[in-house]
Chain A
Amino acid sequence: MEKLFPIEQVLSPEGELKKEIDSVISGEKAVAMYKWMVINRIFDRKSVTLQRQGRIGTYAPFEGQEAAQVGSALALQENDWLFPTYRDHAAMMTYGQSMTQVLLYWKGRIEGCVPPEDKHILPPYVPIATQIPHAAGAAWASRMKGEDAAALVYFGDGATSEGDFHEGLNFASVYDAPVVFFCQNNGYAISVPVTKQMKSKTIAQKALAYDIEGVRVDGNDVFAVYMATREALERARKGEGPTLIEAVTYRYGAHTTADDPRKYREQEKEEKLRREKYDPVDRLKRYLVAQGVWDDQKEAALIKEAEEKVQKAVQEMETFRPASVADMFEHIFAEKTWNIEQQQREAVSMEEKPEERELA
């Protein structure tokens, strides 16, 4: 199976091109990819710090997976659909979700779920794999309506064990729905390694069962990810059906800030090895420097710009209007039912007149 589904690479870990990319990735595009990856990484590190300081709640870091998320999200067109998990904020932000919204989400604010007006970005999916049939359905609808939009749906290696994964792929396959199933195989589902999650040697091979395209790419190679996703989206738009992409990558940190990876892997050793040898950001940087389009000065300017952006988002998150009890009752239905009306009044009165609480 590994032979049938080899890991495709365009940019070697040393930053050397293994394939021609000029027709697909311009120099400008490559720099844009790099910028997004750096900004996202700085955001991610800041978020982990914010959690440690108690300024946001539990947070799911993605460091190490920037190429997989940025490369795939950049392949989307304006009117496409993006279905992310709780770990895919890099993809969300690259496609148009604001940093402030992402931070609000992790601060326990429902407002953080709302996408920008002009983009189809769903809120992070928490129950594993449940987004997969949604993407198939949204894509199928685009096809029914004769539109040219496609859907890109993210999930992890663990998600492929759920029924929803298989049902989603089958539906998409039966109806040639223009959807790209994008699996970030980061090696673990919390503590469970892929080798214990499944006997299959690859995730891409699961495409065979549904007679759809299956592709395995180096998920730390942003060019390979971008090209594979772009091709898959093109095929989808042409009515040639869905694709399953397996992007082989690694999460450097904990599953979430509530997790301790030292319980289940040699964390320090593994992390060091990956960072030194396979880091997606460094890899692209090596290439850009060798091309003569990147240097220390540009790097310093980018880092400064990214830090300022993140800082601004943090400030916006922290000065966002406080959560109000009444909000909890909004948007449950198009029109409030009497029960909700009544309970909203009750809850607000508890809040507003604390001195009368006991004497009501």
Chain B
Amino acid sequence: MADKLTMVQAIQQAMKVKLQEDDRVILMGEDIGVNGGVFRATDGLLAEFGEQRVIDTPLAESGIIGTAVGMALNGLIPVVEIQFLGFIYPGFEQVVSHVSRIRMRTQGRYHAPMVIRTPYGAGIRGPELHSESVESIFVHIPGVKVVVPSTPYDAKGLLISAIEDPDPVIFLEPTKMYRAEKQEVPEGKYTVPLGQARMVREGEDVTVLAWGTMVPVALQAARKMEQERGWSADVIDLRTLYPFDRETIRQSVEKTGRVVIVHEAHRTGGVGAELISFINDEALFYLKAPIARITGYDVPVPQFSLEDAYMPDVDRVSRGIVDTMQY
């Protein structure tokens, strides 16, 4: 049986599957219980699993992530919700100094398997500081994995994998995609492995790399370019940003020799730069043109009156493809 679900419903399903299957799994966060989360990602779970397992915490991100570390050390598997990525910073210390390092510091004696779920990104006319896309900060931290789904099906399968992963995972949920589409999502358990990209569309001429909210944008631009110019593109949804799927990227670049990277995050120090470096190392001599980066700008994500101008759109990505193809 497969129901048509939105991404946020699929995410709720993933947590439900793991709560049912594994006693060690608990959920913690602000407004996740009675309220079911501000985006309703945990809707109904308190009623089904009770206050011991679905916990409305005080308003304190360091407290949430810090106690989650203690719980994980002591055998539980916390799945933590941070209300928005822009509010993770009080808990950042815990992520950088402890979540990511306890395995190394105790040489494997302890580890802190947990998932930190958080909505991220612009595009929903949110208030100030509700639209950040700072995945590269987490990609930069040794010891945590970083996952970004872009479809309901992937969201469920990836979240289940993340909860089962022996290492801590930062799970970034694109707010704009929460209710953007419905997709058939199988009931019950299935997984989508971490570290594997998804080939969204196959082509010959150019490789477009994207994740999260930028996947449908990349896809539309690729379709448009095919219609208007006859160029076909590999559109790759990275899904896991750390560790990313090097084989899929390498093979595609070897085939097309042209690459456009699309991300919503600021340009400087973004994951795009890391991908360019990787391609430089692994496939430099296959390149027929410099790699293009279509990104958010190096400015704080503006308030919503300008968010459309900040975010890469189909026109900007198309222009990147044109530049790369006509180099």
Contact = CB atoms under 8 A, between A and B. Distances in A.
Contacts of A259: 38
Contacts of A325: 306, 309
B242 to A, nearest CB: 25
A164 interface: yes
A301 interface: no
Contacts of B30: 189-190, 192
B151 interface: no
B34 interface: yes
Contact of A358 (B126, B127, B228): B228
Given A110-B302, A263-B36, A358-B318, A162 B297 contact: no
A50 interface: no
Interface string B297-327: 1111011111101100001101100110000
Contact of B303 (A110, A329, A343, A358): A110
B58 A198 contact: yes
Interface stretch (A175-183, A280-288, A347-355): A347-355
Interface string B81-121: 00000110110000000000000000000000000000000
Nearest to B301: A328
Interface in B19-49: 30-31, 33-36, 38
Interface in A327-353: 327-329, 332, 337, 339-340, 343-344, 347, 350-351
A358 B322 contact: yes
27 contacts: A57-B126, A86-B127, A124-B128, A126-B128, A126-B130, A128-B59, A161-B60, A164-B90, A189-B59, A190-B31, A190-B35, A190-B38, A191-B34, A192-B31, A196-B56, A259-B38, A323-B306, A328-B299, A328-B302, A328-B306, A328-B309, A329-B297, A343-B267, A343-B298, A351-B309, A357-B319, A360-B319
Nearest to A327: B306
Nearest to B316: A350
B129 interface: yes
A347 B309 contact: yes
Interface residues of B, number: 45
Contacts of A354: 315
B303 A339 contact: no
Nearest to A162: B60
A358 B298 contact: no
Interface of B: 30-31, 33-36, 38, 56, 58-63, 86-87, 89-90, 125-130, 228, 267-268, 297-300, 302-307, 309-310, 315-316, 318-319, 322-323
Interface in A123-181: 124, 126-128, 158-159, 161-164
A98 interface: no
A58 B56 contact: no
B317 to A, nearest CB: 10
A190 B62 CA distance: 19
Nearest to B313: A350
B130 to A, nearest CB: 8
Interface in A288-346: 323, 325, 327-329, 332, 337, 339-340, 343-344
Given A128-B87, A263-B34, A340-B298, A108 B125 contact: yes
Nearest to A156: B59
A172 B129 CA distance: 27
B322 A58 contact: no
Contact of B56 (A126, A192, A358): A192
Contacts of A158: 58-59
B220 to A, nearest CB: 13
B315 A357 contact: yes
Interface string A101-131: 0000111111000000000000010111000
B31 A191 contact: yes
B191 to A, nearest CB: 31
A17 interface: no
B31 A197 contact: no
A165 to B, nearest CB: 9
Given A263-B35, A358-B228, A358-B322, A332 B299 contact: yes
Nearest to B61: A162
B59 A162 contact: yes
Contacts of B267: 339, 343
A358 B63 contact: no
Contacts of B299: 328-329, 332, 340, 343
Contacts of B302: 110, 328
A328 B310 contact: yes
A359 interface: yes
Nearest to B318: A358
A198 B56 CA distance: 12
A168 B315 CA distance: 47
Contacts of B61: 162
Contacts of A197: 58-59
Given A86-B127, A108-B303, A162-B90, A264 B34 contact: yes
Contacts of A107: 305
A102 to B, nearest CB: 13
A57 to B, nearest CB: 5
A264 B310 CA distance: 36
A191 B318 contact: no
A162 B63 CA distance: 8
A346 to B, nearest CB: 8
A325 B316 CA distance: 14
A358 B90 contact: no
B121 to A, nearest CB: 16
Contact of A359 (B35, B300, B322): B322
A360 B38 contact: no
A162 B30 CA distance: 12
Given A127-B89, A161-B63, A162-B60, A108 B38 contact: no
B28 to A, nearest CB: 13
A360 B305 contact: no
A161 B129 CA distance: 20
A191 B316 CA distance: 40
Interface in A223-246: none
B298 A339 contact: yes
A340 B266 CA distance: 11
Contacts of B87: 127-128
A258 B89 CA distance: 23
